[in-house]
Amino acid sequence: MPITDEIKKTLTDPTPLYALAGAGDLAYEKLREVPGRVEALAADRQGAQEKATARLHEAQELLAAAPAKVTEAVTAFPADLKVLQERAQGFALQQVARALELAVRAKETYDELAERGKVVVDKARPHTDPDPVLAPTAETDPAPVEAEQLDAPAAPAAPAPKKPAKPRKNTPTATE
């Protein structure tokens, strides 16, 4: 595919704009929920404060017992490094799988936001032109350039005249 087609496709693809509009619409929807959540948090503040105080006391008790647990863990550290290596490799493979899963989810989310944005944009604009991004007007579109003109190589230089071949002497061969 010629580079000019790629550039035209990139400049006329409305998907990133749709994704942006969809993200804005989603943000607006979530921001409308904020006042209700703030009121709920204010009501729960007292209970949360009491729970935090209780957890602080538990944490202080755990901290006091921590040196003994650290000493125990150091003495019980497995001597077999092969077991640790296998665990590390298993963990690394799990993380690679998780990264691939997250990449797929990110692509799905991007596509969903683009679709949502397309709906928002379609609702917001008048329905005179099905897709003005893909159909430029005569005022904004320069004179059309044929793809063959853009991809055609420069005119080749005229070939150099050939020198006449020198005549070969006929030499008898040993079999004649």
Residue 146 lies in a domain: no
Going from the C-alpha of 88 to that of each of 28, 32, 81, 85, the distances in angstroms are: 43, 45, 10, 5
Q: How many domains does the chain have?
A: 1
Q: In this predicted model, which residue has the larger pLDDT, 26 or 5?
A: 26
Residue 47 lies in a domain: yes
Residue 65 lies in a domain: yes
Alpha carbon dihedral 15, 19, 25, 31, in 10-degree steps, equals -170
Give pTM, 2 decimals.
0.37
pLDDT per residue over 38-69, tens digit each? 888 888 887 878 888 889 889 999 888 888 88
Cβ within 8 Å of residue 81, ≥6 positions away? none
Residue 57 lies in a domain: yes
Cα 48 to Cα 45: distance, rounded to the nearest angstrom: 5
Residue 168 lies in a domain: no
Residue 80 lies in a domain: yes
Residue 169 lies in a domain: no
Residue 175 lies in a domain: no
123 lies in which domain range? 9-136
Q: Looking at residue 93, what is its pLDDT?
A: 95
Cα 49 to Cα 11: distance, rounded to the nearest angstrom: 54
Confidence band of 148 (pLDDT split at 50, 70, 90): very low
Confidence band of 160 (pLDDT split at 50, 70, 90): low
